[in-house]
Amino acid sequence: MSLERIMTDLLGSHRVSTSYVERTAYSHDLAPIPRNVLWLFNSLPDIIVKPQSLGEVAGILRLANNLKVPVTPRGSATWGYGGAVPNLGGILLDLRDLNKIVSFDEARGLLTVQCGVVWKDVLDFLEKTDYELPVYPSSAPSSTVGGFAATGGLGYGSIEYGSLGDNVASITIILPTGEKTIVDSSTGWVTPDQLFGSEGGLCIFGELTLRLVPKRQSGAPFLAYFHQLANAVEVAKDLARSTKPFSLILRAFGFVRSREREVLLSLEGAESGAIVFGYYAGTPDQVEESMNTFVEMVAKKGGILRPRYEAEFEWSERFYPLRIKKLGPTVLTSDVLVPSNRLTEIIQYAWQLGCDASTDVEVEAIWVSSDQVLFLPLFLSDERRSFRYLTHSAITKKLIDRAIAIGGRSYGYGLWNSFHFAASEPTRRKEFTKMKHLLDPNGILNPGKTLTAKTRLGFPLPRTLYAGFLETLWRLGVWF
């Protein structure tokens, strides 16, 4: 019996597709695979399935495990590292129809949601309650709860409340074998921490019970503009240490036309100012004290305090940095976690990469603790210019290498960054390998990623070959 027939018997024909056009639409994510290396990976799924219940997800995985067919889980695919794109063909598991808010325990402040719920829908639901989310992603209008759980869980609110994993009471998961189980802090054989950030390789996050926080009495957005990026960085670092914002973001003011290939000796050499913005919440006295500190720091560094209505607008627009994609067909990103005291260094390095590659760069930094920053640079490229786009792909490797060298790490691995896992987090990689063998003995769930970059030829891409190839491309791109 064919795979299509098996899945049709389980789900019905309307939720199973082998259409070439539809399968092609699922063969890429935010950052398309360069056509020059596309032949190495089978990114075209054989079949697309769209379950609407956890029982159906379990049935799909059970059948796939028995048949030893690869399964690639996918939410909104807002991540750019290939984690939601097949590299070995097989089944594409579209989880977006699992989009229900299951229950709201108002007395205990708990909200249970399915993995395909979009974060913006959760925020809208909570508007009518006395609770709010402690943490949510910068891509909240499109990203799913399950995707955020699988890819790190750091974002807005993390500087005050930590990661998503720190704010989840329990999770209902489906294992690669098709077994459904509930995991919380009392589970003996596995811990939630081992599953969060596992990039779809250890389990499917079916449902998550989120711990909410009561809405605060008072809140205020803040915004300041700086002509010099260096001054904005210093103010943001001081704010993270001396105040307690719900969110703190630094964003460059538009693209930098850094095309002169000059060496940037300092941030003052960058052709852009920056904004520092965010949100304070607490009692009226706490918010007032924090805002006064902000005003003093901005004045000390020569910044321009913006009026309340502008701060409110910028806060309302915080989810949309990728609107810059309208300036070009392709955006490359390389999200890294770095110590806040090395932020200036990594920004300067990103600017320099943009100069060397003759491409525009925009940077955003989100504080996820008082001493750690999620750095999100965006490089404007053009996938239609195949060779140029391929040379630009080396930017991701070079930026992660620099982040590791200064005590940081890649924020995620997927397919393209899997080579950095051992250097970024050696202990966690060993634990992940052990859990992968334990939970997925047949290697069917999102295989050939995170730990390795497995090709359609049956073997992983060698790290040395990958590094040498990208370095050669980079040099060719700089010269030509």
pLDDT at 307: 94
Residues 6+ apart with CB under 8 A from 300: none
- Residues 17-28: pLDDT tens digits? 999 999 998 888
Helix (H) or strand (E) holding 250: strand 247-252
pLDDT at 38: 67
Q: Tell me the two tokens of residue 31.
A: 């950052």
Residues 277-286 have a mean pLDDT of 96
pLDDT at 260: 42
Q: Among 100-114, 174-188, 244-258, 430-444, which stretch is predicted with the lowest mean pLDDT?
A: 244-258
Region label for 440, one of left (φ > 0), alpha (ψ between -120 and 50) or beta (otherwise)? beta
The C-alpha atoms of residue 211 and residue 429 are separated, in whole angstroms, by 28
Return the higher-pLDDT residue of 336 and 472. Answer: 336
- Residues 125-170: pLDDT tens digits? 999 999 999 999 988 999 999 999 999 899 999 999 999 999 999 9
Return the higher-pLDDT residue of 331 and 16. Answer: 16
- Give the predicted TM-score (pTM) of the model: 0.90
- Residues 188-220: pLDDT tens digits? 889 999 999 999 999 999 999 999 999 999 999
Mean pLDDT of the chain: 88
> Number of C-alpha atoms within 13 angstroms, CB side, residue 84?
28
- Residues 432-471: pLDDT tens digits? 999 999 999 999 999 999 999 888 888 887 778 777 777 7
pLDDT at 473: 66
Look at residue 265 and tell me whether its pLDDT is greater than 70. Answer: no
- Residues 387-417: pLDDT tens digits? 677 777 788 889 999 999 999 999 999 888 8
pLDDT at 26: 87
194, 431 in Cβ contact below 8 A? yes
Q: Tell me the two tokens of residue 44.
A: 């075209």
Nearest to 57, CA basis, from 212, 200, 244, 193: 200
User: Token match 């990661």: residue?
Assistant: 163
User: Token match 């925009």: residue?
Assistant: 362
Residues 71-89 have a mean pLDDT of 86
Look at residue 355 and tell me whether its pLDDT is greater than 90. Answer: no
Helix (H) or strand (E) holding 375: strand 372-381
Phi, psi of 406 (to 5 degrees): -105, 15
pLDDT at 135: 97
Cα separations in angstroms, 198 against 30, 170, 259, 358: 19, 16, 38, 35
Helix (H) or strand (E) holding 312: helix 308-316
Q: Tell me the two tokens of residue 24.
A: 């092609």
Q: How confident is the model at residue 299 (pLDDT cuts 50, 70, 90)?
A: very high
pLDDT at 392: 78
- Kindly state the DSSP code that residue 39 receives in the 8-state scheme: G
